[in-house]
């Protein structure tokens, strides 16, 4: 009780000081957060800048501020700067303005360094294959896909691709369609028909301005002009990046609704929404078969599992289907 009585007397006696301290703290905090966020955003931009001198300046500032105590920074700004002739002028109608300003400057500069690192780390944490990475460095992404185009033009279909062509040509109990996550166009090279590329095609580019899709095995660069809207530097490889919607899904959904036999070949079964195709087809009454090197995480969606290399197991399975034709 004695302690509480003593505290009550202190609060009553110094009430005006406590009130003034709370108000001053809130004012300094508000301005520091505001200026720290603005300056931190600019500093993060410099930290990621491609111009080395600007990047070095940002790195030096951030490391120095984060490596020294806030109290030292406050002492330097309030006492150190006047010693070298830099003073914060007083404003007559704002009591203790120089002290306020010193506190706001020090807190803002300190906050700036931490905010800059938060923003930088958040941006650079984005995987290099994602859409944000393309916007950040489109030249590198175009180089990668242009080189991939060159390599894929030399690639040849494997026996599994050819087995699908045979199935499409000889199967008489329905239409055989192919839904693929591959972008390499080896299905078409093998003669497959009714191919639905849900992850896009290596030979296409799409305009991010108007949505026009062009087909070309030539190089696409940041200087390529869209033939639809005439805007340059907006042509992106028509490949689904992480976070983008899959392509032709309305058509795929329609196929699954009327599917009678679904064969999943060589897929991990771990990536949504492709890992739900077997479940949807099974719900609509289809038989489901999995051909893979091992059973997958969604193996319960399949009525039958065939383990082995697709180039071998699919040939045998196609023979089996055609024998029942």
The predicted pLDDT at position 191 comes to 95
Q: What is the pLDDT of residues 189-204, one digit of tens each?
A: 999 999 999 999 999 9
Domain end: 193, 219, 245, which one?
Answer: 245
- The verdict on 14 and 115 lying in the same domain is yes
- The verdict on 312 and 210 lying in the same domain is no
- The verdict on 6 and 116 lying in the same domain is yes
The predicted pLDDT at position 81 comes to 82
Active site residue 284: no
Q: Tell which wins on pLDDT, 67 or 1.
A: 67
Domain end: 245, 267, 302, which one?
Answer: 245
The predicted pLDDT at position 126 comes to 61
- The verdict on 204 and 92 lying in the same domain is no
Residue 258 near residue 175 (C-beta atoms within 8 A): no
The one-character DSSP state at 296 is -
For 284, the domain range is 248-325
Residue 78 lies in a domain: yes
- Predicted confidence (pLDDT) at residue 143 exceeds the cutoff of 70: yes
Q: Tell which wins on pLDDT, 130 or 174.
A: 174
291: domain CATH number is: 3.40.50.1220
- The verdict on 19 and 102 lying in the same domain is yes
- The verdict on 28 and 102 lying in the same domain is yes
- The verdict on 273 and 235 lying in the same domain is no
- What is the pLDDT confidence band of residue 315, given thresholds at 50, 70 and 90? very high
Q: Which of 161, 199, 294, 305 is catalytic?
A: 199
- The verdict on 260 and 205 lying in the same domain is no
- The verdict on 271 and 285 lying in the same domain is yes
144: domain CATH number is: 3.30.1600.10
Count of domains observed in the chain: 3
- The verdict on 9 and 91 lying in the same domain is yes
Q: What is the mean pLDDT of residues 257-261?
A: 94
- What is the pLDDT confidence band of residue 121, given thresholds at 50, 70 and 90? confident
- The verdict on 142 and 105 lying in the same domain is no
Interhelix angle 97-124/15-47, nearest 10 degrees = 40
Distance, C-alpha 192 to centroid of its chain: 33
Question: Cβ-count burial of 32 within 10 angstroms (0-12 exposed, 13-18 middle, 19+ buried)?
Answer: buried
- What is the pLDDT confidence band of residue 91, given thresholds at 50, 70 and 90? low
Distance CA 321, CA 5 (A): 92
The predicted pLDDT at position 243 comes to 76
The predicted pLDDT at position 79 comes to 87
Residue 39 near residue 86 (C-beta atoms within 8 A): no
Q: What is the pLDDT of residues 167-195, one digit of tens each?
A: 999 998 889 999 999 999 999 999 999 99
The model scores a pTM over 0.95: no
- The verdict on 190 and 301 lying in the same domain is no
12: domain CATH number is: 1.10.3720.10
Q: What is the pLDDT of residues 147-157, one digit of tens each?
A: 999 999 999 99
Domain end: 245, 265, 283, which one?
Answer: 245
- Predicted confidence (pLDDT) at residue 306 exceeds the cutoff of 70: yes
Output the CA–CA distances (angstroms, integers) from residue 290 to 200, 252, 260, 300, 304, in the order listed: 23, 18, 14, 10, 6
The predicted pLDDT at position 93 comes to 61
Q: What is the mean pLDDT of residues 259-280?
A: 89
Residue 92 lies in a domain: yes
């Amino acid at each position: 009780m004695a302690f509480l009585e003593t505290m009550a007397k202190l609060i009553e006696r110094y009430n005006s000081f406590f009130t003034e301290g709370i108000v001053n703290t809130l004012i300094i905090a508000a301005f520091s957060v505001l200026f720290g966020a603005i300056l931190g955003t600019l500093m993060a931009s410099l930290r990621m800048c491609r111009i080395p001198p600007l990047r070095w300046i940002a790195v030096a500032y951030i490391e120095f501020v984060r490596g020294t105590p806030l109290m030292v920074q406050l002492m330097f700004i309030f006492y150190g700067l006047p010693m070298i002739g830099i003073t914060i002028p007083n404003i007559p109608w704002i009591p203790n303005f120089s002290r306020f300003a010193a506190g706001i400057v020090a807190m803002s500069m300190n906050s700036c360094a931490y905010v800059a690192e938060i923003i930088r780390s958040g941006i650079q944490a984005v995987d290099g294959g994602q859409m944000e990475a393309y916007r950040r460095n489109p030249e590198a992404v175009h180089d990668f896909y242009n080189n991939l185009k060159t390599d894929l033009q030399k690639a040849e279909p494997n026996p599994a691709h050819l087995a699908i062509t045979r199935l499409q040509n000889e199967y008489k109990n329905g239409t055989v369609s192919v839904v693929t996550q591959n972008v390499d166009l080896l299905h078409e090279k093998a003669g497959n028909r009714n191919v639905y590329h849900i992850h896009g095609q290596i030979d296409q580019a799409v305009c991010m301005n108007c949505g026009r899709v062009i087909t070309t095995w030539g190089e696409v660069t940041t200087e390529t002009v869209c033939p639809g809207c005439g805007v340059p530097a907006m042509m992106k490889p028509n490949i689904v990046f992480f976070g983008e919607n899959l392509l032709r899904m309305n058509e795929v959904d329609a196929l699954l609704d009327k599917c009678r036999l679904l064969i999943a070949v060589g897929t991990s079964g771990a990536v949504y929404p492709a890992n739900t195709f077997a479940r949807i087809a099974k719900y609509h009454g289809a038989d489901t078969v999995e051909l893979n090197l091992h059973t997958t995480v969604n193996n319960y969606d399949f009525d039958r599992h065939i383990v082995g290399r697709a180039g071998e197991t699919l040939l045998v399975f196609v023979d089996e289907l055609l024998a029942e034709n």
